[in-house]
Amino acid sequence: MRVRADAAQGAFFGDYIVGSREGHSYRVEFRSSEQPINSCDCVDYEVNGLGTCKHIEAVRQHLRGKRMSTQRSVTEVYLDRCDQYGEGPRIRVLWADQLRTDDRVSEVVRPFFGASDVLLGEPADALPALDRAAQEAGLGLERVRLSEHITPWIKRLQRQRRRASGRRHLLADVAAGKQNLDVLRYPLYAYQQEGMLHLAFKGRAILADEMGLGKTVQAIAACELLRRLRGGGARAGDQPRVPKNRVGRADRPVHHFAGPGDHRTAQRAAASIPPGPPSSISPTMSRFATTARTYSAC
């Protein structure tokens, strides 16, 4: 891996760009050579909960033995993904070394954090308030910095909460008799309704029921439910994505369960998929063995 500083910096801590052999680049925010408080924008770092990844370790190896200033000159607000106690990601603050002589930073920033340096309140509300307070106090990036990895996490968190809220509202309407979960030509079993809701409101989801329990019908039902909730017009991401070599098999169950005319949904979705492994986050109708073989060949 190729490692370089993102900008001209003589300090040990800062931003680094790590390039892979495949030509991808990843941004690493390096804060400590000992504690798991560094961050990277790669998927591995986002999901493993270890507080490190191969790109962070590449930076650590790159810096080993280098004579650079290890003084921490900036107070940084960052996303701590090291989930040691099962509490999930948290927003923390890492104070600059010279904070004792910079009372203004402490005065502005400290009220937003608790005794363990964890952000108080909802991140989506507290972070914009902190940013405004820092700007009003004239604290530039050379004194207070918010990690670039926080904003994507906040947006993802907001999407998850919107989906959870949408599911709660739907179930409340079902309980009140305003809505129903009979979205196909045939009624779903209770566990199939749960699978439909799981697929429709999870964002990224895997349905791993045993053979014969109706995974296909649950995927079709989830797409139909999303179409109805969004006013009858299906968006591109709502349609089941079907590999081209399975179009002949996929359009028949769509036609059978969703009704006449809807069988072309699978054909339209399949036509938009380029050759190779599926890259969309849309629902993909495929057997696990087929998917495993496809990805293992990449």
Question: Is 249 contained in some domain?
Answer: yes
Q: Which residues form the domain of 64?
A: 1-68
25 with 39, same domain?
yes
32 with 131, same domain?
no
Instruction: Point out the domain boundary residue: 13, 45, 68.
Output: 68
Q: What are 184-236's pLDDT values in tens digits?
A: 888 899 999 999 999 989 877 888 888 888 888 898 888 888 888 877 544 44
Angle at 201 between CA 245 and CA 184, to 5 degrees: 65
What is the per-residue pLDDT for 292? 43
Q: Which two tokens stand for residue 124?
A: 């989506």
Given a cut of 80, whether residue 68 has pLDDT beyond it is no
185 with 292, same domain?
yes
Question: Is 164 contained in some domain?
Answer: no
89 with 136, same domain?
yes
Question: Is 266 contained in some domain?
Answer: yes
Q: Give me the helix-helix angle, 190-202 and 150-175, nearest 10°.
A: 150
What is the per-residue pLDDT for 257? 65
Q: What are 243-297's pLDDT values in tens digits?
A: 555 545 555 666 666 665 544 444 444 343 344 443 333 444 444 444 444 444 4
53 with 86, same domain?
no
What is the per-residue pLDDT for 251? 56
Q: Which two tokens stand for residue 296?
A: 């293992």
Given a cut of 90, whether residue 20 has pLDDT beyond it is no
> pTM higher than 0.85 for the full model?
no
Q: What are 142-189's pLDDT values in tens digits?
A: 788 888 888 888 888 888 889 999 999 999 999 999 988 988 888 899
Q: Which two tokens stand for residue 288?
A: 């696990």
pLDDT (mean) for 59-73:
81
34 with 95, same domain?
no
Question: Is 204 contained in some domain?
Answer: yes
Question: Is 174 contained in some domain?
Answer: no
58 with 76, same domain?
no
119 with 12, same domain?
no
Given a cut of 90, whether residue 67 has pLDDT beyond it is no
Number of neighbours of residue 199 by Cβ within 10 angstroms = 24
Question: Is 2 contained in some domain?
Answer: yes
Given a cut of 90, whether residue 102 has pLDDT beyond it is no
What is the per-residue pLDDT for 233? 47
Given a cut of 50, whether residue 63 has pLDDT beyond it is yes
Distance (Å, rounded) from C-alpha 133 to C-alpha 255? 57
Number of neighbours of residue 248 by Cβ within 10 angstroms = 12
Question: Is 257 contained in some domain?
Answer: yes
Residue 255 to residues 219, 234, 240, 258, Cα–Cα distance (Å): 13, 16, 13, 6
pLDDT (mean) for 30-47:
88
Domain count, the chain: 3
Q: What are 82-96's pLDDT values in tens digits?
A: 766 667 788 999 888
Which residues, at least 6 apart from 82, have a Cβ–Cβ distance to it below 8 Å?
36, 37, 49, 50, 51
If one compares 70 and 239, the residue with the highest pLDDT of the two is 70
State the residue for tokens 């005319």: 261
